[in-house]
Structure 1
Amino acid sequence: MTLPDPHLDPHLLRTLAPLLAAESDAEAPAAGVEAGDLEQAVWLRLLERLQDDEAPSRPADWLRRAVRAEARRARRAALRERPYRAEEAGEPHDSPESTALTSERRRAVRAAVRRTPGHCPRLLTAMLDPADHTYREIAGELGISQGSLGPMRSRCLGCLRRMLASEVPAATPRGRVRETDRWTR
């Protein structure tokens, strides 16, 4: 790939790498993400800009702003994420009906995981494994870098979410299923 701006040569990119690592290390703990994931997201933003012929005029300043923006995005995403409900976390079920519904939901998720594109089925299967592997173990198993797992996981979960949107009824703001949806599950 030829860089569109003569000021952004490979040497400059190599010199920006330590700055990006330091900024990511500083912002990652507050954002609740790994520094490597933050770094990779910023590199991706930079490559997208370069592809669109929008090279930053002051790369170091742009890089600092981009790290902070990605950290804010990660914090906002963490606020929207909800923990597993008790029935999905392996808690005992009260009735055969809830056991059957839980099993059906799991089957629907597993079937959707198998239909996802690219590396997503292997990644999501590894993430859903009851053994609860670490990112390092999953990266080794899949043969990809550990820093790639976060962005790849995000893309795969987005794809899975879109696939399941038509199969699983949406919950109301308090997590309850609407009365009209009870019979469609």
Structure 2
Amino acid sequence: MTVAQESAAPGGTGAVVGALGPLVAAEATAEAPGAAVEARDLEQAVWLRLLERLDGDAGPPADAARWVRSAVRAEARRARRTAARELPYRQEPSADPAVEHFAPPERAALRSERRRSLRAAVARTPGRCPRLLMAMLAPDDLTYREIAGTLGISQGSLGPMRSRCLGCLRRMLAAEVAAPGHRGRER
């Protein structure tokens, strides 16, 4: 029997969802602030877990209230672990030329050194990658159509080629510079 057929049957999925709705909402609202996640996101994760259970061989939980509490807490723990491992993007200084004029000379020297080393690494990539990556680094900000025309390849093959070239460049740069370990410790 499919989920749609079960929801139409008395005591099926629809009845389980209807009966557990307020409990799931209350538990998710209670746990969300501690997990630093929206209550609706937490609630949605629990509903997904319940529907996966109902669609599988497990069937509805015997003690639904206990199952909901444990599922909400498990999803909240997962959200906390994920938030602890995710790091925000680093704020880069403005690329505004007016601000650049007042930048210290050390920052300008470091920036030009990074550009030089990136362009040197791009030049060492194999095959057609150097031409593609240099076109992507061009200051005129070319579109895919313009890059494909410049390189003489189809626009459809540009995306996969770009992915391969960036992966190759990433591996080259990772081999040159050791990535810092967990919590800033060197490997």
TM score, norm. by length of structure 1: 0.51
Structure-2 residue corresponding to 1:82: 87
Structure-1 residue corresponding to 2:6: 3
Secondary structure, aligned partner of 1:3: helix
Match of 1:68 among 73, 83, 86: 73
Check the 8 A contact 1:28/1:71 in 2, yes or no. yes
Deviation of 1:6 (Å): 6.6
- Deviation by residue 1:139-161 (Cα, 9 ceiling, x = unmatched): xxxxxxxxxxxxxxxxxxxxxxx
**Which stretches in structure 2 are left out of the alignment for 5+ residues?**
95-106, 119-132, 138-165
**Which stretches in structure 1 are left out of the alignment for 5+ residues?**
109-163, 179-185
Aligned pairs for 1:1-185 (under 5 A) are 1-3=4-6, 7-55=11-59, 56-85=61-90, 89-91=91-93, 94-98=110-114, 101=118, 168=170, 169=174, 171-173=179-181, 174=183
Check the 8 A contact 1:23/1:67 in 2, yes or no. yes
Secondary structure, aligned partner of 2:28: helix
Change in CA separation of 1:79 and 1:167 when aligned onto 2, cut-off 3 Å:
farther
Secondary structure, aligned partner of 1:2: helix
Secondary structure, aligned partner of 1:91: coil
Across the aligned residues of Structure 1 and Structure 2, the Cα RMSD in angstroms comes to 3.4
TM score, norm. by length of structure 2: 0.51
In 2, Cα distance between equivalents of 1:70 and 1:165? 33
Check the 8 A contact 1:42/1:66 in 2, yes or no. yes
- Deviation by residue 1:13-64 (Cα, 9 ceiling, x = unmatched): 1121111111000000000100011011011111111111212112221111
In 2, Cα distance between equivalents of 1:82 and 1:76? 12
Letter of the 1:172 counterpart? P
Q: What is the number of residues matched between the two proteins?
A: 116
Check the 8 A contact 2:13/2:54 in 1, yes or no. no
Change in CA separation of 1:49 and 1:12 when aligned onto 2, cut-off 3 Å:
closer
Deviation of 1:165 (Å): 7.5
Secondary structure, aligned partner of 1:95: helix
In 2, Cα distance between equivalents of 1:53 and 1:167? 47
Secondary structure, aligned partner of 1:57: coil
Change in CA separation of 1:8 and 1:61 when aligned onto 2, cut-off 3 Å:
farther
Which protein has greater RCO, CA pairs closer than 8 Å, 6+ apart?
1
In 2, Cα distance between equivalents of 1:171 and 1:57? 49
In 1, Cα distance between equivalents of 2:169 and 2:64? 45
Deviation of 1:84 (Å): 2.2
